[in-house]
Chain A
Amino acid sequence: MFTDARTIPDHTRLDADIAVIGGGPAGITLARSFAGSGTSVCVIESGGHEADADTQALYEGSNAGIEYPLAGSRLRFLGGSSNHWGGYCRPLDPIDFEQRDWVPFSGWPFGIEELLPYYEPANRIVEIAPGRFEDMAYWQQHTGESLPQPVTGRMQMRFVHFSPPTHFGSRYREDLDRAANIQVLLNANVVNIAATEQGRSVRQLELRTLDGRAHTVRARIYVLATGGLENPRMLLLSNDVVPAGLGNHNDMVGRFFMEHPHLSGFGEIVLADLKRLPAIYRERVRVEGRNANAAFNPSDAFLRERRLLNATFMAGLAGNYHRGMTSDWDHVPLHMDMLNAARPFLADGEGPIDTQNPELIGHWLGLGCACEQVPNPDSRVTLSEERDALGLRRIRLDWRLTEQDRRSLVEHMRSLAMEFGALGIGRMLLNVEDDGLWPEKVSGGSHHMGATRMHDDPKQGVVDRNSRVHGMDNLFVAGSSVFPTSGAANPTLTLVALTLRLAEHLKGRLQ
């Protein structure tokens, strides 16, 4: 059931077995895991069913590092940032979980086998099941096209599935409403996670509405699920007992913030003959009710050999070239020259590439990338001196990238060029200077990871392998902020799988 916190008497106290702070993908997944059970769940959501400017403004903050849209990259109403999710889904790769000696601070407390049982139910939750992320034979059979395999040893093919996308708030609203044991408190902002005197347990949550009401929630277990940026902020803000903030005895909360650095326009590929590049390699293809697109990923062997970070590249048809074509874009003559010069390498025969369109000389592909960045303790979330409408210190983000991140990305771009050349598909133009500097146009993918990282050692992480905050017995964190490394897959599917794992752990604990 839903309750608007602005409509209940001031200073109401609510009780539940589990209090979930945040009604986004993680919070809703956790709550739904208990639907119909004997466990009472209270979800505390800052927003309502729709976006609201005053609530959204609570996300504003300042940047100390790479410019980052702190309010624009997330949404603060039921469903959270799934409300503007692009729907990209792919599990992390096994290597992402490993401790790699060339990646500082890498390694999860467990391998991918620990998450595998949860990925398939997560696939169903984000409406992409069954997952066929590596099944080349399946896509070949269902697209009816021969899918070329990479030949350089540098890359491998993976298949990204697209969620509709699932907007968790609207998609699962009815489930939440129907479940007698779930109460969703809307328009309620947690302003303090109040700890016991020793700071070893959460005593209660202190809530405020934007119109000034104050409530409290008490539970046996508390789960912080407010997103990858807000999770560390909430821990840092909750400092009435532990001055550094909850779980922050070792100054780890907020550190290791990671994104998937995205570069727009870093390169283009020209190709003469579309028949050499199957549709699923350049566009979303619908098969058995779901959309998928091939992705080019570095192979494990290449990552190990060259000691590189993970990455994902996707290509999309962006334009066609015809003889005599002109344009203001200075890349057009470059593209056309390459198509004209390399024609014998890129197409069969000597006649028109397309007899129905004899002036056609080729096409160009735009490229997208999402890259892993090295976990970096200096890339961090802290609190600014500015305060929001609730009187809470705003977030301050210092997102940093390193030379290792940049070198890895450039190497993978070159690999992509080599793959297209080796397959006789196309030629790639790189627009990134290898000058030791990150291009100014680097951005993120609204993927907020790492700032409450998981590690068995309290000196190296904020939460343990079960997502429990080190040093606290009843506070857990859900979401991508617990990722120790980011891999190069969009985080939503994995955070849902991790949340299902957490739910199972909590069920065992509550028995």
Chain B
Amino acid sequence: MSAGHDASRRRFLLSLLLGLVAGRTLVACDSSTESRHVPGQAPEWLLKITGERDAVVRIGKDYLEAFPAERNVEALMSAIESSFEAVNAAAADAGEIVTALQQAVRGDYQRGDVAQVNGWILSRTEARLYAAVALLSA
């Protein structure tokens, strides 16, 4: 996999998260900038991989409170990317990434790679997704 491909996917992920923060409308707008690297896939990914934004943000903030060292979007993004790459290193479009992330989250639970967040036992990848959204909406 090329460095250019990695960078493109990282920008894509970041754009999706930025879109998540603003909601569906922004996702559509956002596709005109960063997400043009994967045209037309961002809204689908966004709707599939995380749920209702306010709830996501609240849980994400709880995670960051419990793990303040992770209060860094780039680091979180990198960790998320590593998670789904471990499932599907070739995932490039939104659908593939969503599928890989869903598998990665299940895999976290299966391996015991979990964090306790305000009482919830959460997949580390899942919790980081929520945390990234929380940081971007601050």
B120 and A345 contact, CB distance less than 8 A: no
B122 within 8 A of A: yes
| A505 and B134 alpha carbons, distance in the complex (Å) | 69
Size of the chain A interface, CB-CB below 8 angstroms: 29
A421 and B119 contact, CB distance less than 8 A: no
Q: Would you give the shortest CB distance from B100 to chain A, in whole angstroms?
A: 13
Say whether, besides A341-B59, A344-B48, A344-B51, A334 and B119 are in contact (CB < 8 Å).
Answer: yes
A430 and B119 contact, CB distance less than 8 A: yes
| A155 and B112 alpha carbons, distance in the complex (Å) | 13
| A230 and B59 alpha carbons, distance in the complex (Å) | 51
B55 within 8 A of A: yes
Within B9-63, the residues touching A (CB, 8 Å) are: 47-52, 54-56, 58-59
Q: Which residue of B lies closest to A270 (CB)?
A: B120
Q: Which residue of A lies closest to B47 (CB)?
A: A350
A422 within 8 A of B: yes
| A430 and B122 alpha carbons, distance in the complex (Å) | 11
The segment out of B73-81, B85-93, B101-109 that lies at the interface is B101-109
| A152 and B50 alpha carbons, distance in the complex (Å) | 24
B114 within 8 A of A: yes
Q: Would you give the shortest CB distance from B123 to chain A, in whole angstroms?
A: 6
Q: Which residue of A lies closest to B45 (CB)?
A: A344
Say whether, besides A152-B110, A414-B114, A421 and B55 are in contact (CB < 8 Å).
Answer: no
Size of the chain B interface, CB-CB below 8 angstroms: 30
Residue among B50, B106, B110, B130 with max Cβ neighbours from chain A (10 Å): B110
Chain A residues near B122 (CB, 8 Å)? 421, 427
Within A398-440, the residues touching B (CB, 8 Å) are: 414, 417-424, 427-431
Q: Which residue of A lies closest to B107 (CB)?
A: A422
B121 within 8 A of A: yes
B137 within 8 A of A: no
| A341 and B107 alpha carbons, distance in the complex (Å) | 19
A429 and B120 contact, CB distance less than 8 A: yes
Of the candidates A151, A336, A339, A342, the one whose C-beta lies within 8 Å of that of B110 is: A151
Q: Which residue of A lies closest to B118 (CB)?
A: A334
B72 within 8 A of A: no
Q: Which residue of B lies closest to A416 (CB)?
A: B121
| A345 and B123 alpha carbons, distance in the complex (Å) | 11
A344 and B47 contact, CB distance less than 8 A: yes
Q: Would you give the shortest CB distance from B138 to chain A, in whole angstroms?
A: 17
Chain B residues near A430 (CB, 8 Å)? 116, 119-121
A396 within 8 A of B: no
A338 within 8 A of B: yes
Chain B residues near A428 (CB, 8 Å)? 120-121
Residue among B47, B55, B105, B126 with max Cβ neighbours from chain A (10 Å): B55
Q: Which residue of A lies closest to B123 (CB)?
A: A421
A345 and B102 contact, CB distance less than 8 A: yes
Q: Would you give the shortest CB distance from B47 to chain A, in whole angstroms?
A: 6
A282 within 8 A of B: no
A320 within 8 A of B: no
B110 and A427 contact, CB distance less than 8 A: no
29 CB < 8 A contacts A-B:
A152-B110, A152-B112, A334-B118, A334-B120, A337-B59, A339-B51, A340-B52, A341-B51, A341-B52, A341-B130, A342-B51, A342-B126, A343-B51, A344-B50, A350-B47, A414-B114, A414-B121, A418-B109, A418-B110, A418-B112, A419-B109, A420-B109, A421-B105, A421-B122, A421-B123, A424-B106, A427-B122, A428-B121, A429-B120
Query: Chain A residues in contact with chain B, CB under 8 A?
Result: 151-152, 154, 334, 336-345, 350, 414, 417-424, 427-431
Q: A344-B49, A427-B122 are in contact. List 11 more A-B contacts (CB 8 A).
A: A152-B112, A334-B119, A341-B50, A341-B56, A341-B58, A341-B130, A342-B51, A345-B126, A421-B108, A422-B107, A430-B121
